Structure 1
Amino acid sequence: MDGDEILKINGEIFQVAEGGQRPTSAITKEYLAQKGLPADIALTFEDVTILDFKSDVPSRSAITDTKSRLARDIFLQTPIVSANMDTITESQMAIALARLGGLGFIHQFLPIERRVEEIKKVKRADSGVIENPFNISPEATVAEAKNSMENFQISGLLVIDPVSAKLVGIITSRDVRFETMLEKRVAEVMTNSPLITAPPGTTLEQARVILKKNKIEKLPLVDNEERVVGLITAKDLLKIEQYPKALRDPKGRLRVGATIGVSGKFIEEADQLLRAGADIILIDTARGFSTKLEEAIKNLKNSLGEKVIIAAGNVDTPEGALLLIEAGADAVKIGIGGGAVCKTREGPGVGVPQISAIAECTAVALKHRVPIIADGGIRGGADFCKALAAGASTVMMGWMFAGCEETPGEPFYEDGEQWKIYRGSASLEFQLSRSDRDEGERVRTPEGVPRRVRYKGEAADVIHELMSYLRSSMSYVGTWTLEEYRKKTRFRRQTISGYEEGKPARP
């Protein structure tokens, strides 16, 4: 056809109609047919049901392998990531998710200095070895020591001589708890050296033995010149035992994602976030099928190197996914207009229903071994399971976590109940809040809305419920691993009456 563009994927040829219209690709059609999905109509979660198969799984509790790849070498034991929204993910949510095997993306709507601090809070929350432990000078006051411990939410500080850089003592909350003379110098109340220490390279198991033998809670690692090179704490060792599924980096710290946009000094921001410890960078924009995002991915890789792990989105077509994959994205975020506080389909009228969007983009992404992040439309366990069954490696959630204790903002009381605010990043209220920060951004026609949501308690309760539903779904399909579940699951279309039939009867 004249004007058509020819795309090649692993040697297979696809025709894309001029103007970026959807290709009738053999790969996409084959994958949809394999999943029991039509190619001529777009479906969402309520339009399909998962078929059950003969199963040798005795019960959902027997299933333990729910590992899935987020991007490159980052594997989650819990295939859930929290949305990069200002009312969903800052350090508290990211810490809670990582401890349970998922990952949080710190949102991009804070000043870069605040985002860096949020990343550092996550990396310091649980550590195998703390590389740069907080410290204080022996000449500082007790008041300064107390303030530092309160601000950093820690129970002690190493005391280091500013001239020699040597460890000279340690001051803990017990040393200052009942101290009324706050002007005293730290040197007057601290525990002086020599302290129980260990050399660099001490393993966590060796540290455990030393801590137990000496009945201490903090073990400084010092070199031959008595300079501090790290710290191992009993608290962190206990957290490793408490959270066996936690998502950790090679140093034992919790993993965390950071988000940037496609404008301004985004490369400089990414560099600062990576230096702070971010494990993956999400480049996020509402219109991901764009030259701007394509160039942003390429420029970020060229500037910071191929080692940078990049997730990018959002797109909802195979062509959009392919564009980002070829630009260098290590994971692609799928979904336009499906969010609970999004009006993109209602306003501009854009957005492919989510089951079809996930499946079609997965068909292309599989050929490149690039994982898909399903983003939007998740209202409960069934939607979560169906997103994974359609091909997503992980599922991003905002609505499901809205109202949780770990989300930013304080709960408030109204109508005799406790609530928190949840809003879309394109809502009028959110745009005005950015204007209040003197960002000078013109208020656009809103494509999102704010909502009050009931206070839900801890995010762990939400995650445990979702994972229980997933293991149950896996047992119905007859699969022992999440990877097998994605391959084996099949859908069947259902009528709205069929969907309503499946809801519990209400009196």
Structure 2
Amino acid sequence: MSSLEDGFAAEKLFAQGYSYTYDDVIFLPHYIDFSTDAVSLSTRLSRRVPLSIPCVSSPMDTVSESHMAAAMAALGGIGIVHYNCDIAAQASIIRQAKSLRHPIASDAGMKLPEFEISSLDAFSPSSFVFVTQTAGTMTTPKLLGYVTKSQWTNMNYEQREMKIYDYMKSCDFCVPWDIDIEKMEALLEDKQKGFVVLERDGETVNVVTKDDIERVKGYPKSGPGTVGQDGEWMVGAAIGTRESDKERLEHLVNAGVNVVVLDSSQGNSLYQLDMIKYVKRTYPELDVIGGNVVTTYQAQNLIQAGVDGLRVGMGSGSICTTQEVCAVGRGQATAVYKVCSIAAQSGIPVIADGGISNSGHIVKALVLGASTVMMGSFLAGSTEAPGAYEYKNGKRIKKYRGMGSLEAMTKGSDQRYLGDTAKLKIAQGVVGAVADKGSVLKLIPYTMHAVKQGFQDLGASSLQSAHDLLRSNILRLEARTGAAQIEGGVHGLVSYEKKSF
């Protein structure tokens, strides 16, 4: 290398024996000859699943259920529904996601029938509390009734101590699931009802309030949605590699699933290789994504078995402790570059799964070779994430847990870690909470614009262009010292407020 040459080629940087994560490396800027709006982020999730944006929601039970899957599809990405539930429940989530033509997740609280409202906080920020068979989301299509803020305020103290089921009002204002949003808004104005229930085949699909519609109207306009041949949102689902997952797969296919992800923390196993071959033999038109992998050897085994996509990452998630507990894994930047280098030779798209905390991490993952990024914590706490909001120290939060946590394992996720129900369970994840992020319908468009700015700085107008520039050694990288990482972030201030948009 000439003494005047800047940085290192990726091939040389990642051959030094270090396990780098995203913050450890930095790209050097290239030449700009196009506008930010000229950057295209269209890509592929797998061989036959195209996306307008490279965003995938992680199959975690505090991240991806029906509202998240529908919202991600509406934005041009895709959601992968978790399987930490029984077969019927997962199939129901798939069907509901496809029925959410307008992916509006209500700000209203969803409570169980035995819930007792103790303060007006239960209504915040909405004027309604809806009574459902499951708290937190509308995943189970059964809406029982509702309570208004004014109704509760006018009740005496003895009445307020009753369970909401005893004084709720019934919901009698239903409209078809595929109604235009303009007609929905007009009906709400005409009926002076405050909310509307959307139904499909006699089952509740969603509930939308006037406030919800006003809020959504202020979000950035979405690009082309991810729509399947049936005209409905494309939705993915995770499954395991046990014999019972073959029955699960059959139900998911009947529910209309568009792609399946074999969900394992270490995907290079006999069990996964056998399942890949089973899926491709039984449902040849269904794309199957294998993983997780972090080495070229692992990737080659899954590619030879017939996968249509790969998922990369081991121990890189914010709530994952696999590297700490098992001493196995790899820094995510190194893992993405190495696996993408081998996958590209077979035309296999790669999902960079885990370690995404900001738009810069997304840029790095994509430029290093990934076709998409899978996000858990980045999307957790959003309006569309499963679970009910709570307040802690004045902050509005939602629970977020790793699928390797003992709490998640008790519901069945231990098979992701090749666990056996007859043996001891060892946690490879934690349970935590994240702050309210608002709607992904706002978060993702702003994030994608920041990613486009990163691509512009690198002189790459598309993912393919970025990959070509990297492999031709035109794009250069350097490792960052600890001091350089501090310098690259906010520093030297007494106080500051950090907002992404």
> Shared topology, TM-score over 0.5?
yes
Larger deviation, residues 426-435 vs 67-76: 426-435
Deviations 1:430-450 (A, max 9, x none): 223559xxx966551111011
Structure 1 ranges of 4+ moved more than 2 A: 32-38, 150-154, 241-244, 431-435, 439-443
- 1:222 — aligned with what? none
Code of the aligned partner of 1:474: F
C-alpha contact (below 8 Å) 1:92/1:406 kept by paired residues: yes
- Unaligned runs of 5+ residues in structure 1 are 1-31, 128-146, 155-181, 191-203, 217-227, 229-234
1:402-481 aligned at under 5 Å gives the runs 402-434=380-412, 442-481=423-462
- 1:113 — aligned with what? 88
Aligned-partner Cα distance in 2 for 1:504–1:475: 23
C-alpha contact (below 8 Å) 1:96/1:460 kept by paired residues: yes
- 1:55 — aligned with what? 32
Code of the aligned partner of 2:52: Q
Is 2:16 the counterpart of 1:40? yes
Alpha-carbon spacing, 1:242–1:466, altered in 2? closer, same or farther (3 Å)? closer
Alpha-carbon spacing, 1:476–1:497, altered in 2? closer, same or farther (3 Å)? same
1:121-132 aligned at under 5 Å gives the runs 121-126=96-101
Deviations 1:315-345 (A, max 9, x none): 1000101111111110000000111001111
C-alpha contact (below 8 Å) 1:316/1:336 kept by paired residues: yes
Deviations 1:69-126 (A, max 9, x none): 1111211111010000111100110011100011000001111101111110122222
Aligned residues: 382
1:391-410 aligned at under 5 Å gives the runs 391-410=369-388
- 2:157 — aligned with what? none
What TM-score do the two structures reach when normalised by structure 1?
A: 0.69
Alpha-carbon spacing, 1:423–1:346, altered in 2? closer, same or farther (3 Å)? same
What TM-score do the two structures reach when normalised by structure 2?
A: 0.70
1:17-166 aligned at under 5 Å gives the runs 33-34=9-10, 37-41=13-17, 42-58=19-35, 60=36, 62-126=37-101
Code of the aligned partner of 1:68: T
Larger deviation, residues 241-250 vs 309-318: 241-250
Aligned-partner Cα distance in 1 for 2:251–2:410: 27
- Unaligned runs of 5+ residues in structure 2 are 1-7, 103-131, 133-137, 144-169, 188-200, 202-207, 209-216, 414-419, 495-501
Q: 2:255 aligns with which of 248, 269, 276?
A: 276
C-alpha contact (below 8 Å) 2:84/2:411 kept by paired residues: no
Is 2:283 the counterpart of 1:297? no
Q: 2:317 aligns with which of 327, 335, 339?
A: 339
C-alpha contact (below 8 Å) 1:82/1:397 kept by paired residues: yes
Using the aligned pairs only, state the percent identity.
31
2:289 is paired with a residue whose SS is: strand
Alpha-carbon spacing, 1:47–1:310, altered in 2? closer, same or farther (3 Å)? same
Larger radius of gyration: 1
Q: CA deviation at 1:36?
A: 5.2
Aligned-partner Cα distance in 1 for 2:428–2:142: 38
Is 2:472 the counterpart of 1:496? no
C-alpha contact (below 8 Å) 2:67/2:100 kept by paired residues: no
1:297 is paired with a residue whose SS is: helix
Is 2:348 the counterpart of 1:370? yes
Alpha-carbon spacing, 1:292–1:346, altered in 2? closer, same or farther (3 Å)? same
Aligned-partner Cα distance in 2 for 1:445–1:153: 36
Is 2:240 the counterpart of 1:261? yes
Q: CA deviation at 1:44?
A: 1.1
Code of the aligned partner of 2:464: E
Is 2:301 the counterpart of 1:323? yes
Deviations 1:257-276 (A, max 9, x none): 01100113112211210111
